[in-house]
Amino acid sequence: MPAKKATHQQTKQHNRDLILKTLFDNPQISRAEIARTTKLTRATVSDMVADLIEEGLVAEVGYGSSIGGRLPVLLSLNADSRYLIGLNLAQDKFIGAVVNLRGEIKETCEAPVGSNNGEQALQIVYQILDQLISTDCKPIVGIGIGTPGLVNAREGIVVNAVNLDWQDLPLARLLETRYHLPVSVLNDSQAMAIGEFVYSGSYKSDDNLIVVNVGYGVGAGILINGRIFQGDGGGAGEIGHVAVQENGVACRCGKYGCLETVASARAVVQRAQVLSETSDPQINSFESLETAFLAGDPLAQRIVTEAGHYLGFSIANLVGTLNIKSILLTGDMTCFGESWLGSVRESMSEAALPRMVQDTQLEIGKLDFRGCILGASASMLLSGYTLLFTQTNNN
Binding positions for a copy of itself, rule: CB under 8 A: 1, 3-5, 14-15, 17-18, 21, 38-40, 150, 159-160, 205-206, 208, 220, 222, 224, 229-239, 241-243, 253-255, 313-314, 316-326, 350-356, 359, 384
Of the pair 257, 281, the CB lying nearest a copy of itself is at: 257
- What backbone phi and psi angles, to 5 degrees, belong to 115? -85, 180
CA pair distance 303, 336, nearest whole angstrom: 11
Q: How far is CA 303 from CA 207, 219, 250, in A?
A: 35, 20, 18
CA distance 274 to 259: 19
CB of 321 to a copy of itself, least distance (A): 6
Closest to 395 in 3D by CA, of 23, 52, 49, 6: 52
Concatenated DSSP letters for 242-297? SB-STT-PBPTTS-BSBTHHHHSHHHHHHHHHHHTTTSSS---SHHHHHHHHHTT-
| Minimum CB distance to a copy of itself smaller for 189 or for 301 | 189
Nearest CB to a copy of itself, comparing residues 24 and 369:
24
Q: Shortest distance, CB of residue 75 to a copy of itself, whole angstroms?
A: 19
SS3 at position 378: helix
Angstrom distance (rounded) from CA 351 to CA 356: 11
Round to whole Å and give the CA distance between 38 and 11. Answer: 13
Which DSSP category does 92 fall into? Answer: S
Q: Of 38 and 200, which has the nearer Cβ to a copy of itself?
A: 38
Choose between 124 and 169: whose C-beta lies nearer to a copy of itself: 169
Q: Quick one: 29 or 137, whose CB is closer to a copy of itself?
A: 29
CB of 115 to a copy of itself, least distance (A): 23
- Residue 127 C-beta: closest distance to a copy of itself, Å: 29
The distance of closest approach from Cβ of residue 208 to a copy of itself in the complex, given in angstroms and rounded to an integer, is 6
CB of 97 to a copy of itself, least distance (A): 26
